[in-house]
Amino acid sequence: MAEVVLFHHALGRTPGVTGFADELRRAGHTVRTPDLFEGRMFDTLEEGMAHVRRIGFGEVIERGARAVEDLPAELVFAGFSLGVLPAQMLAQTRPGARGALLYYACVPAAEFGTDWPEGVPVQVHGKESDPLFAGEGDLDAARALVASADRAELFLYPGDQHYFADRTLPSYDAEATRLLLDRSLSLLHTLDAQNPRQTPASGGPSD
206: in domain:
no
Beta-carbon contacts of 56 under 8 Å, excluding residues fewer than 6 positions away, are none
21: in domain:
yes
Question: Dihedral, CA atoms, 90, 40, 51, 102, nearest 10 degrees?
Answer: 30
- For residue range 93-140, list pLDDT tens digits in order: 999 999 999 999 999 999 999 899 999 999 999 999 999 999 999 999
Based on the structure, what is the number of domains in the chain? 1
Q: What percent of the chain has pLDDT over 90?
A: 90
User: Contact at 8 Å (CB) between 64 and 86?
Assistant: yes
138: in domain:
yes
Q: Is the pLDDT of residue 181 over 80?
A: yes
166: in domain:
yes
Q: Is the pLDDT of residue 199 over 80?
A: no
Q: Is the pLDDT of residue 196 over 70?
A: no
Beta-carbon contacts of 176 under 8 Å, excluding residues fewer than 6 positions away, are 127, 157, 158, 159, 164, 165
Count the Cβ atoms, other than its own, within 10 Å of residue 67: 19
53: in domain:
yes
pTM across the whole model: 0.91
Please tell me the distance from the alpha carbon of residue 31 to that of residue 68, in angstroms, as a whole number.
12
What does the mean pLDDT of the chain come to? 92
CATH classification of the domain holding 102: 3.40.50.1820
Beta-carbon contacts of 186 under 8 Å, excluding residues fewer than 6 positions away, are none
- For residue range 28-55, list pLDDT tens digits in order: 999 999 999 999 999 999 999 999 999 9
Which range is least confidently modeled, 47-61, 134-148, 186-200?
186-200
Domain that holds residue 166: 3-196
Higher-scoring residue by pLDDT: 139, 191: 139
Question: What is the reported pLDDT for 194?
Answer: 72
204: in domain:
no
